Amino acid sequence: MTLPLSNYSHILYQIFEFTQNLKLSQKKLYWSLVFLFTFSWFIADFSWLIYDEILSINPINIAGINIIYTLPNVFLAILITVYYINNFKKWNKYQLILDNIVIDSILLILIWTFMFSQNGITFHTNFDYLNTLIYLFIDFYILSGIATMIMSFNLKRLEKYIFVVLFGALIFVFTDFHYAYLYFNDLYVANTMIDGVYSIPNVLFAIGAILAQPVRMPKDEFEEEMLPENYRKTRYLNVLLLVFLVLYIIKSYSLEILFASTCIILIHQFFTAIIQDAIRREFLLKKEVQMNEQLENEIKERTEELICANKALVEISNKDALTGLYNRRYLIDYLDSLILNKPNNSFALLYMDLDRFKSINDTYGHPIGDKMLNILSKRFIDNCQPNCTIFRVGGDEFVLLIEKQVNQSYIYKIVHKILDLMQQPIFIEPYVFRTGVSIGIALFPQDAEDRDLLMKYADIAMYEAKVNCRDSHYMFFHSSISQKIQRQHEIELLLKNVDYTNEFLLYYQPQYRSSDHSLVGVEALLRWKHPEQGMIPPLEFIPIAEEIGVIQQIGKWVIGEAFSQIKKWNEAYHLNLKIGINVSPIQMEDIHFLTWFQEKLANDQINPNWIDLEITEGTTMNATVSTEELFDKFSNLGVTISIDDFGTGYSSLSYIKKFHINTLKIAKELIDNIAEDHNTLLIVRAIVMMAKGMQLKTIAEGVEEIKQIEILSKIGCDEIQGYYFGKPLPAEELEKEHIIKNINNEIL
Ligand code: C2E
Ligand code: CA
C-alpha cells in the first residue's frame, strides 16, 4: 500500500467537495457512490497500513481487511446497477439484454481462457478464496456493465469526465483481475507494483470530479431524443471478431473457441438486426404520433384563429358600418333568441323613424345625411340604458328593445327621453338641423307572439304616430290602427304611380275682404280623383306624400297649375287677385326650391304680388337660421307669406316676429268657437290686435256663419275664407260663382 495518506485525503476531498455541491439528483447519487468507493478503499488501505506497519501482522490473512477491500467493488457494482435502473427507460431492453448476454459470454470465455483454463488452478474452500472469488464476480458484473454502457452510450453526448471515470473503473477491474490471477496462482506479493496501480482509479475519479462541471446537456435533435441510447451501437462488437482472430493467430485461442466466439457474435448480429428493425419501427411510430400531435396542435391553433376571425366577422356582419349600431340581421337573431329561449319574457319593441330625413338627405346630400345619422346614433348609444338595445334597421329607421322592466310608465319615460334627445339641434357646419322622430311601440307577448308580426305592428304604430299623431310623436299599437295603416300603405302605393294630369286637379276657395265683402283672392286646394278609389282627401294623402318624399314633385305641379290659373283670371278679368298656395315644410327645406320658384315666376311671367305662400305653423317653429333667411329671400321676390292654421300650434307672436311674414291665417278651430266661447273671442281679438301692431294682415279660416263674420269684422280681421262665402270649387265653377259675380257686384 504505497499511496501516501495525504494524497488520499486530497482525492477524497476533491470527490467529496464536488459531491457535496451537487444538487439532489441522480448525479449526486452516482458521485456519492464514487466517494464511498474511494473512501472504503482508503479505509482498507489505512487498515492494511496499521496491521502491516504498526502491528506487524500480515494483513493478507485478516479476513476483515479482505472484506473491506471488497467494498469498493460493491459500491462500483451498485453504481452500475443504479445507472442501469435509471437509464433503463432510455435503452431498448431487448437489445440491452442481448448485448449483456453476448458481452458476458465473451468475457467469461476470455477470463476462463486467460485465468483458469490454461493454468490448472485448484480451488480452495477457505474464506479468502471465496472472498476473492466474490469480488472477482462483482468485477465481472462491473466489467460487463461498463462494456454494455460504452456500447450503448451515444459517445457524441458523453462528457469528458465520464470517460475518465469509466477508464478508472476499467483499470480497477482489470487490476482486480490481475490480482485474482496472481492470488489464485499464489504469485501475489504485497506492496508491489500492483498495489500502486490500484491507486490509479482513485486518482482518475478525483480528476473526473474536477472535470465534471455542471454542464447542461446539449439539446438533441428530434431523432436522437427519441431513439434508444444503444441504437446501432452494437456494430462495435464486430471489432471483437478481429480480436478473436488475432488471439487465434497468436495461438491464444483454439479453433473451437474462435468458432464459438464468432458464432456468438453472429447470433448476436442476427438478433440485433431483428431488434434494430423493431426499434426503428417503434421510432417511426413514435415519430408519427409526435408529428400527429404537432399537426393536431397546429390544427387546434388554426381552428382557434379561425374561431377568432369568425367571431370578428360575425361582429362585423351584425353591425351597421355607418353608425356601429347593431343591424337588422342581428335584430332578427336577437328577437328569435328572446322569443325562443325565454318564452316567459316580456319586452317592448320601439320602432323609430326620423321625420323628414329623406328630404334632408335629398336636399343636402348623403354626406350630410350620414353625419346626421351618426350624431343621432351617438346620442342613442350615450343614453342607452343597460336593459335597452338599439339597432339601425333601415336608412332612418331604428329599433329599441326594452327588456326586463316592461311597464307602461317605464316605456313612457324612455320614449320621452328619446323624443327629447332627437329634438335637440344638430350642428353640421354650416347648417343647424332640427329633426324629430316618430315611435311605434309593440309589446311582447301582449300584441304579438311572433317576431315578424311584432315588428310589423311596431312599424304600423310608428306609421300611425308619424301621420296622425304629429303632436305626441309616438303610438302604442292597438288592433284598430292596423286597418287604418293598411289603407295608408295602399295610398302610398297609389301615390307612387299617380297620373298627375288625369288624377290631380286644383279646387279654389274664395277669400273675401271683411269690410266690403269683395273678392280678394283664392286658396288653391289640391284634389285627387283616383279612377278606382274616387276622391282621396288631401289630409289623407299629403302627410304620406311628405313621408315618402313625393311632396316636392306634387308641390311643383300645384304651383304650376296655380300660376297659370291666377294669370289666366287676372289677365282675363283685369283683376289683381291673390292665390294662396299651400307649401309643405319639406318643400321649403329643399335648397333648390327657391331658385326653381324664382325661375318659374319669371318663365311663367307671373306677377309676384299675385302669389301668397301658405306655410304651416310647425315650419316656423322648427326653423333654423337658414329657414329665416329663406323667408327673407321669398319676400324679396315680391311674394307674400302666410302662416297657416295660426293659433293651433305653439308659436308665439314674438317668435313669429323673427320671420318675414305678411299674413296670419287664424285656424278654423278658433273661429268655430268664436261666437259661443268668450275666451276664444278674446284670444282671436288679441291675435288680430297684435298682428295689426306688427303690420300683419289677418284672415279667418273656416268661417261658416254670419255671426262669425260680424264678430270678425268688428274686431278688425281683414279677410274671410270659409263655407259661408264658398266651398272649394273647380276653376270654372269658382270663376262663374265668385269672380264673375264679384265683378258684377252680385256677392252678399
Ligand atoms: P288648410 O290649408 O287649412 O286648408 C283649409 C281646409 O279647410 C281645406 O280642406 C278646406 O276645404 C277646409 N275648409 C275651408 N273652409 C271651411 C269651412 O268653412 N268649413 C269646413 N269644415 N272646412 C273648411 P282641404 O281642402 O281638405 O285641405 C286640407 C288640408 O290639406 C289643407 O289645410 C292643407 O294643409 C292641405 N292641402 C290642400 N291642398 C294642398 C296643396 O296643394 N299642397 C299642400 N302642401 N297642402 C295642401
Ligand atoms: Ca291653407
Instruction: Compute the distance between CA of residue 441 and CA of residue 457 in angstroms, rounded to an integer.
Output: 8
* Residues whose CB is less than 8 angstroms from the CB of residue 87 and which lie 6 or more positions away in sequence, other chains included: 229
The pLDDT value given to residue 164: 85
CA 583 to ligand 2 center in whole angstroms = 8
Do 717 and 514 form a contact (C-beta atoms < 8 A)?
A: yes
- The residue contributing the CA closest to ligand 1 atom 27 is 538
Question: Residue written as cell 471488497?
Answer: 70
User: Which of 525, 643, 663, 729 should be mutated for ligand 1, with most atoms under 8 A from CB?
Assistant: 525
Low-confidence ranges of the chain (pLDDT < 50): 1-3, 215-220
pLDDT recorded at residue 541: 94
Determine the Cα–Cα distance for residues 86 and 334; give it in Å rounded to an integer: 62
Ligand nearest to the CA of 723: 1
CB 150 within 8 A of CB 80: no
| Topology of the domain covering 328-477 | Alpha-Beta Plaits (3.30.70)
Say which residues have a Cβ less than 8 Å from residue 459's Cβ, sequence separation at least 6: 351, 440
Residues with CB under 6 A from ligand 1: 509, 525-526, 537-539, 542, 555, 558, 582, 584, 614, 644-645, 701-704, 722-723, 728
Q: Which of 583, 684, 668, 601 is nearest to 638 (CA)?
A: 601
pLDDT digits (tens, 9 = 90+) for 643-690: 998 887 655 666 677 788 999 999 999 999 999 999 999 999 999 998
Phi, psi of 327, rounded to the nearest 5 degrees: -105, -175
Q: Which uninterrupted H or E stretch holds 640?
A: strand 640-646
> What pLDDT sits at residue 259?
73
Count of positions (residues) in the chain: 748
What is the pTM for the complete model shown?
0.50
| Cα-to-centroid distance, 525 and ligand 1 (Å) | 6
How remote is the CA of residue 703 from the centroid of ligand 2, in Å? 14
- CATH superfamily entry for domain 502-527+548-747: EAL domain (3.20.20.450)
Phi and psi at residue 402, to the nearest 5°: -110, 120
CA distance 87 to 389: 66
Which residues of 355-481 form beta strands (DSSP E)?
388-392, 397-403, 426-428, 431-433, 437-444, 474-476
- Provide the greatest CA pair distance for the chain: 175
pLDDT for position 216: 46
What is the reported pLDDT for 123?
56
The backbone torsions φ and ψ at residue 584, rounded to the nearest 5 degrees and listed phi first, read -70, 145
Q: How far does residue 614's CA lie from ligand 1's centre (Å)?
A: 11
Give the cell for residue 462. Answer: 310608428
pLDDT on residue 125: 62
Alpha helices for 22-114 (secondary structure H): 26-49, 63-87, 93-111
Rg (C-alpha) for the chain, rounded Å, is: 58
Alpha carbon 140 to chain centroid, angstroms? 71
Amino acid (one-letter) located at 100:
N
Give the per-residue pLDDT at 219.
46
| Atom of ligand 1 minimally distant from the CA of 614 | 2
